Amino acid sequence: MIKCIAIDDEPLALKQIVGYVEKTPYLELVDSFESAMQAISFLSENEVDLMFVDINMPDLNGMDFVKSLNNPPKVIFTTAYSEYAIEGFKVDAIDYLLKPIGYSDFLKASAKAKERIRAANSESTKIESNEEFLFIKSEHKILRINLSEIKYIESMREYVRIHSENQKPVMALMSMKKVEEFLPNNNFMRVHRSFIVNLKKVAHVERHRIIFDNKVYIPISEQYKEKFQEFLDKNFLL
C-alpha cells in the first residue's frame, strides 16, 4: 500500500481527492489537511510515500511547501491554473492534475506514482552488508564501512549521509528505507524519518533528543518514540 496525504484549502476539492484515494485499491489515506502549515507539522513526526498537493493556497502555496521540505515524499500537484505545470516538474513532481479532476486522470497519475515508488524501493544500491561491515558506493568509489564505527545515518533527500567515528561523513545515493533494511536491527534503530542511530553509541538522551559529541542533536519523533523507549527500558538500571 502507498501511504498518502491530501492537501487543499477548498473543502469540496479536498473531499474529491480523498474520495478518489479511498476508491483506489493500492492507496491508503493517512490524513488530509486544509493548509500546508498543518501538513508540515504532521510530516515532522510521520512518514508517507505520496502527497496530493494543491498549489494555490493561502499562507504557504503548495510549490513553496514542497520546496521547504528536507526530504519530501513523492508529490502530485493539483490546481486550476495550467501555468504552474513547468514549475511543478522542476521539483520532480510525478504529475500535475488540472481541476476539475476526473477519476481517470487521477488514476493515471497515481499509477505513475506507484511505478516510481516501486522502482525507488527496489533500486540497486550497490551495497552488501553483514554483521561487521558493509560496502557502499560513494563518488565513484566503493568504500568499506565498519558497522561498529557508525554513529548515525542522516537522510539527505535522495542521498544518505553516514556519520562514523574517526572519518569524514560519507554520502551515497540510496533511500533511507533501503539502508534500514540492510542494517542489523538489534544494533540500529530508526528514531526519526531522517535519522537512524547506532544504539551502541547512544550515551546521552535529553528531552526526546539523542546528543552526540555535545553538539549534534537528533530528534526522536512521535512515530518512533515508543520503540526507542522500549530500548531504554530494557537497559535501564533502577
Per-residue pLDDT of the chain (238 residues; tens, 9 = 90+): 999 999 999 999 999 999 999 999 999 999 999 999 999 999 988 999 999 999 988 888 888 999 898 888 999 999 887 665 555 555 788 998 999 999 999 999 999 999 998 887 765 444 555 678 888 888 778 899 999 999 999 998 789 999 999 889 999 988 888 888 889 888 999 999 999 999 999 989 998 999 988 788 999 999 999 999 999 998 887 6
Query: Strand order of the sheet with strand 74-79?
Result: 27-33, 2-7, 50-54, 74-79, 95-98
Q: 2-121 sits in which CATH class?
A: alpha beta
Cβ pair 151, 183 in contact under 8 A: no
Which residues of the chain are in CATH 3.40.50.2300 domains?
2-121
Which residues of the chain are in CATH 2.40.50.1020 domains?
148-234
Burial annotation 36-45 (CB, 10 A radius, 16+ → b, else e): beebeeebbe
The DSSP H or E segment spanning 216 is strand 216-219
Cβ pair 108, 94 in contact under 8 A: no
Q: 148-234 sits in which CATH class?
A: mainly beta
